[in-house]
Amino acid sequence: MARIASLRELKKFLPRKGGGKIVLVGGCFDILHIGHVRFLSEAKGMGDYLVVLLESDKNVRKLKGTKRPIFNQIERAEMLSSLRMVDLILLLPRMRKDDDYLNLVTKIKPDIIAVTKEDPLVDKKRMQAKKVGGVLKIISLTKTFSTSKLAKILGVE
């Protein structure tokens, strides 16, 4: 089972220098579905240690609407922690600025930042990867219902 950690605990759970390639991903992961599982599996295949930045409930509401998230951050973290490819889930506080994310990425120093093909923040994440000497890798989307589409079907949006 993956570790679930806060920002304060970050250093305790990151691998030490030479402990393998760190792959970093981020997201809401509100209703876990096959697209998430395939994305995380492919990201893990790029390195040795997969770190998931899990958005706060406030950020999810800001991004997805007032009825979201469906599952709170701790519940989402528990679901992610049961996936064998995930090594560490980092519970993000409310991140307000791009610099907040950049500072965090600088602390983690991932070798790879993995994103989906249609990530709207791909340019920012590419810049973050470059700043820490890493690379950005793009993963194709799985053709399936998105979390937002599933939420509509459930009548939550």
* Residue from 11, 67, 107, 149 carrying the catalytic annotation: 67
User: What's the rounded Cα separation, in Å, for the pair 128 and 149?
Assistant: 30
* Residue from 62, 109, 124, 137 carrying the catalytic annotation: 62
Return all residues near 129 (Cβ < 8 A) that are at least 6 apart: 105, 110, 112, 113, 135, 136
Could you confirm whether 67 is annotated as catalytic? Answer: yes
Could you confirm whether 62 is annotated as catalytic? Answer: yes
| Residues with catalytic function | 62, 67
